[in-house]
């Protein structure tokens, strides 16, 4: 299959009903797969009401069939066509955070394919803030199921080039709207529990949610090892680079000394070593290692935005061993550290012990 790429510049007037959006929307309506930018990561879209179209998502990604998808809507009208009821709490969250990186788990009304929900009584739904995403969904006229547009087990794509690296030839098209801004996936919040529960930390922080709804719980699986996650997809290892990754905790200067030593030792054993740091920290490292600077430490949003591209860089460089600095778990830092822990398969050592 030939994958069409449409480039959209949102600064150029008239793109909303231009040829790119019209062609991409027509493909979606015809049951084909089209990747598109959201403010978090690129999504791989299919008509959520079409069983065959949704089935193609799982095939193209190599995604396990028991991992449900997020349904993307362009407006509140489409929301009521998907969910059974919008509770008072849901309404307050929607008024405050939509469009934006917040996914709500709500009871569905049986209108989307059971392949989207994996047979659950609930559906995860969000209204993305990216203008290209909303224009495309509106033009398609159907709710759009869209997981991240990567092959299963790869980091989520934050550029159209990442999408093509994973899925060229396997999907009908990619709408290229430039790099995404948030860089990590949306927050998934379950509203079917007595207390709203974060299943996946993301672009909207726990602090921000609590300010609107009061108490917000964290899924125990986010806090303790060994708990069975409530969000079906969380049990799978996502975001893993090919090289084995270890997080080195501790203050940046101290962690850097420890990382330098571990890196030098691994290189002597014949490993090709990658180091994940920030622009302000890269001067601390010496030697032949692949040092990737990811944003600035004083701006955790910039680190989150650059994270997945950094992980892909390590793969491109053929790195076999990665050591990464860690970050404070405040605000977007919680989502950032959640993704880093996953990428590291939970391997974390203390840099303070040296
Ligand atoms: O930012 C994002 O959310 C991106 C962009 C493309 O919108 N999408 C995304 O989709 O990250 P995906 O499929 O990679 O992650 C969906 C997450 C999974 O962890 C899945 O288990 C959870 O949402 N999920 C979906 N439906 C659910 C449901 N009914 N109950 C609980 N969790 C659900
Ligand atoms: Mg994903």
Q: Over 90: is that where the pLDDT of 310 sits? A: yes
pTM of the model as a whole = 0.95
78-106 burial by CB neighbour count: b if 16+ within 10 A, else e?
A: bbeebbeebeeebeebbeebbbbbbbbbb
Residues 64-72, mean pLDDT to the nearest whole number: 94
Cα-to-centroid distance, 288 and ligand 1 (Å): 39
Residues 186-202, mean pLDDT to the nearest whole number: 97
Residue of 108, 221, 231 with the most ligand 1 atoms within 8 Å of its CB, for mutation: 231
Coil/strand/helix, residue 321: strand
Residue 233 near ligand 1, beta carbon < 6 Å: yes
Q: Which ligand is nearest to the CA of 308?
A: 2
Determine the Cα–Cα distance for residues 148 and 38; give it in Å rounded to an integer: 10
Q: Over 80: is that where the pLDDT of 42 sits? A: yes
Query: What does the pLDDT read at residue 108?
Result: 98
267 with 319: CB under 8 angstroms? no
Residue 198 near ligand 1, beta carbon < 6 Å: no
Cα-to-centroid distance, 11 and ligand 2 (Å): 29
Q: Using pLDDT thresholds of 50, 70 and 90, give the confidence band for residue 280.
A: very high
Q: Using pLDDT thresholds of 50, 70 and 90, give the confidence band for residue 96.
A: very high
Nearest 5°: phi and psi at 237? -75, 110
Lowest mean pLDDT among 162-176, 195-209, 231-245: 231-245
Determine the Cα–Cα distance for residues 278 and 108; give it in Å rounded to an integer: 42
Query: What does the pLDDT read at residue 5?
Result: 98
| Ligand 2 ion: residues within 5 Å (CB) | 148
Residue with the bigger pLDDT between 272 and 226: it is 272
Q: Which helix (H) or strand (E) holds 34?
A: strand 34-36
Chain-centre distance of CA 297, in angstroms?
21
Residue 146 near ligand 1, beta carbon < 6 Å: yes
Query: What does the pLDDT read at residue 235?
Result: 55
Ligand 1 closest atom vs CA 72: 7
Ligand 1 closest atom vs CA 149: 6
- Beta partners for 274? 290, 322
94 with 104: CB under 8 angstroms? yes
Q: Which residues lie closer than 8 Å to 163 by C-beta, 6 or more apart? A: 35, 42, 44, 149, 150, 157, 174
Tell me the pairing of strands 197-200 and 217-218: parallel
Determine the Cα–Cα distance for residues 79 and 73; give it in Å rounded to an integer: 6
Cα-to-centroid distance, 143 and ligand 1 (Å): 15
Cα-to-centroid distance, 3 and ligand 1 (Å): 24
Q: Over 60: is that where the pLDDT of 237 sits? A: no
Cα-to-centroid distance, 269 and ligand 1 (Å): 40
Residue of 130, 185, 202 with the most ligand 1 atoms within 8 Å of its CB, for mutation: 185
Q: Using pLDDT thresholds of 50, 70 and 90, give the confidence band for residue 232.
A: low
Helix axes 333-343, 300-316, angle to 10 degrees: 20
Q: What would you report as the CA-atom Rg of the chain, rounded to the nearest whole angstrom? A: 20
Query: What does the pLDDT read at residue 352?
Result: 72
C-alpha pair distances (Å), 14 with each of 4, 21, 173, 316: 20, 11, 21, 37
Residue 199 near ligand 1, beta carbon < 6 Å: yes
Determine the Cα–Cα distance for residues 34 and 170; give it in Å rounded to an integer: 10
9-20 burial by CB neighbour count: b if 16+ within 10 A, else e?
A: eeeeeebbeeeb
Nearest 5°: phi and psi at 315? -60, -45
Residue bearing the CA closest to ligand 1, atom 6: 43
Q: Using pLDDT thresholds of 50, 70 and 90, give the confidence band for residue 229.
A: low
Residues 321-341, mean pLDDT to the nearest whole number: 96
Cα-to-centroid distance, 238 and ligand 2 (Å): 7
Determine the Cα–Cα distance for residues 116 and 102; give it in Å rounded to an integer: 18
Cα-to-centroid distance, 177 and ligand 2 (Å): 19
Cα-to-centroid distance, 167 and ligand 2 (Å): 14
Determine the Cα–Cα distance for residues 62 and 15; give it in Å rounded to an integer: 33
């Amino acid at each position: 299959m030939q994958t069409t790429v449409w480039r959209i510049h949102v600064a150029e007037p008239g793109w909303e009903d231009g040829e790119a959006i019209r062609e991409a929307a027509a493909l979606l309506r015809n049951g084909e797969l089209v990747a598109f930018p959201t403010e978090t990561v690129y999504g791989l879209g299919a008509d959520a009401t079409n069983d065959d179209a949704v089935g193609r998502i799982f095939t193209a990604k190599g995604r396990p069939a028991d991992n449900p998808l997020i349904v993307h809507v362009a407006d509140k009208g489409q929301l009521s066509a998907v969910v059974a009821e919008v509770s008072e709490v849901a309404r307050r969250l929607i008024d405050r955070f939509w469009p934006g990186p917040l996914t709500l788990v709500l009871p569905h009304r049986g209108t989307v394919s059971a392949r989207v929900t994996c047979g659950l009584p609930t559906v995860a739904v969000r209204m993305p803030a990216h203008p290209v995403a909303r224009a495309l969904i509106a033009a398609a006229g159907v709710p759009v199921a869209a997981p991240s547009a990567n092959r299963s087990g790869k980091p989520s794509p934050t550029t159209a080039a990442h999408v093509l690296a994973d899925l060229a030839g396997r999907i009908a098209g990619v709408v290229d709207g430039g790099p995404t801004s948030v860089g990590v996936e949306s927050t998934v919040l379950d509203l079917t529990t007595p207390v709203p529960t974060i299943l996946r930390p993301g672009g909207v922080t726990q602090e921000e949610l609590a300010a609107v709804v009061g108490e917000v719980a964290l899924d125990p699986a986010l806090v303790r090892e060994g708990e069975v996650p409530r969000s079906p997809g969380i049990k799978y290892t996502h975001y893993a680079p090919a090289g084995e990754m270890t997080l080195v905790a501790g203050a940046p200067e101290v962690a850097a000394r420890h990382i330098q030593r571990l890196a030098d030792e691994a290189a002597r054993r014949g490993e090709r070593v990658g180091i994940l740091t920030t622009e302000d920290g890269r001067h601390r490292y010496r030697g032949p290692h692949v040092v990737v600077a990811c944003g600035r430490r004083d701006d955790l949003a910039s680190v989150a935005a650059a994270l997945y591209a950094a992980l892909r860089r390590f793969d491109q460089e053929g790195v076999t061993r990665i050591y990464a600095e860690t970050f404070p778990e405040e605000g977007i830092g919680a989502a950032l550290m959640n993704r880093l822990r996953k990428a590291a398969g939970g391997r974390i050592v203390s840099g303070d012990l040296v």
